[in-house]
Amino acid sequence: MNAQTQVELPVGAVAWLPPQLSIIVPTFNERDNVALLYEKLAETFGSTPFEMIVVDDNSPDGTAAAVKALQRNHPNIRCLQRIGRRGLASACIEGISASAAPFFAVMDADHQHDEKILPAMLERAMAGDDIVVATRYAAGGSAGEGFSATRAAGSQLATRLSTLLTGANLSDPMSGFFLMRREVFDEVAPSLSDDGFKILLDILVSAMRYRKANGQALRIGEVPYEFRQRHAGDSKMSPLIVVQFLGLLLSKMTAGLLPTSFLLFALVGGTGLVVHLVTLTLANALFHPPFWISQTVAALVSMTSNFFLNNELTYADKKLRGLRLIVGLISFYAVCSFGLIANVSVANLVYGFDHQLYLAAIIGVIMSVVFNYAVTRVFTWR
């Protein structure tokens, strides 16, 4: 460059200051919430440099476009737009990984989380807390207006379960609102589970384990706040997400040995058995067909229901649609048929040893679940 090159700064541009805090905001259909959220954050932080990183799963309502429109006027906003992907936990992980500030926070876009407590959370982290959880239950805080009665009860139950799991007595381990120093995240990032809704719980469990193994303590702080009503749009919480969450808890109880997707796959397999028996009984009662016909029909019906349940629940993040759904269904039938061969041959082998009927049957079933899981992950839900 020679000295004649002049760079003109846009009017109002100020010297860039590295952000102290990155605020990660996962979004799905939050178009009408993002601009106001940024305004509230900017007001809260004043001259403290922060950045807002929105991770949007290509929302049909155009959230990403709305964020990018803001980004043109504010250097401290970024949008990570993920195409063809879904999932709250993985969105948070990617947003956190894309930031470099010494501290980061995760919060919802819908204004349910009170941004005004962020400076207090940051202060605690700067004073040495590894993870600061914004909590809806501690004295002074409240689950108040933003929570339905069933949702509150479910949340309490989940809180107890996770206390069991983490061994830490936290008032709100299911919070979607927390702040932490980035090294703590870097320690555990490789062991986090990509699926699910409860990223904080996963981070807590993993960080506890990591620190324990290294003989260090984990300092967790809590800052109470009042959970508000959602501003615009709808919640993405659903019964499916609750079942997925139970799968995550179980998976963590096996120290991740059994992946959540395997547990969900096995659960769906269990429902398939019920569907099979019901279909068999109905077919027999209604049409009195030869056994092999009713057995074949029952197998087809249960494989089909298993396929759709897995597509919704186990693989919600890579859900097949359109033509890929049909191809997937056919490959699922094919894999399950091979799975049946695996089942019968292994069961037969075990039965040959000491003629334990039920033991042989159970091992055969486990064999086919493992086989179907492993192979459909390669051929059906890639």
Residues in contact with ligand GDD by the rule CB under 6 A: 26-28, 30, 55-57, 86-88, 91, 108-110, 112, 155, 174, 176, 197-198, 235-237
Q: Which residues of 147-168 are buried (b: 16+ CB within 10 A; e: fewer)?
A: beeeebeebeebbebbeebbeb
Please, what is the minimum distance in Å from the beta carbon of residue 211 to ligand GDD?
Answer: 23
Question: Whose Cβ is closer to ligand GDD: residue 155's or residue 271's?
Answer: 155
Q: Binds 76, which of Mn ion, ligand GDD, none (CB < 5 to 8 A, cut-off by type)?
A: none
113: CB partners within 8 A, 6+ apart:
107, 134, 176, 177, 225, 227, 228
55 binds, among ligand GDD, Mn ion, none (CB under 5 to 8 A by kind): ligand GDD
Q: Which residues contact 308 (CB under 8 A, 6 or more apart)?
A: none
Pattern 49-88, Mn ion, x by CB under 5 A: ----------------------------------------
Which CB, 176 or 272, lies closer to ligand GDD? 176
110/195 with CB nearer Mn ion: 110
* Side-chain-side CA neighbours of residue 3 (13 Å): 0
CB of 121 to ligand GDD, least distance (A): 15
Q: Which residue, 193, 243, 183, is CA-closest to 89?
A: 193
- Whose Cβ is closer to Mn ion: residue 110's or residue 129's? 110
- Annotate 321-339 with DSSP letters as a single string: -HHHHHHHHHHHHHHHHHH
Counting contacts by CB under 5 A, is residue 112 touching Mn ion?
yes
Give the pairing of strands 50-56 and 77-81: parallel
CA-nearest of 171, 285, 289 to 224 is 171
Rule CB under 5 A: choose which of 57, 110, 130, 202 binds Mn ion.
110
Give 110 or 172: the residue with its C-beta nearer to Mn ion: 110
Q: Closest approach of Cβ 10 to ligand GDD, in Å? A: 31
Report, in Å, the least distance between residue 69 CB and ligand GDD.
18
From the list ligand GDD, Mn ion, none, which binds 87 (C-beta under 5 to 8 Å, kind-based)? ligand GDD
Say if residues 260 and 193 touch (Cβ distance below 8 Å).
Answer: yes
Residue number, 194 or 295, with CB nearest to ligand GDD: 194
- The 3-state secondary structure of 97-137 reads HCCCCCEEEECCCCCCCCHHHHHHHHHHHHCCCCEEEEECC
317 lines the binding site for Mn ion (CB under 5 A): no
Helix (H) or strand (E) holding 27: strand 21-27
Side-chain-side CA neighbours of residue 204 (13 Å): 28
Contacts to Mn ion from residues 89-108, by CB under 5 A: 108
138 alpha carbon, distance to own chain's centre: 25
Of 177 and 262, which has the nearer Cβ to Mn ion? 177
Q: Which residues of this protein are in contact with Mn ion, per CB under 5 A?
A: 108, 110, 112
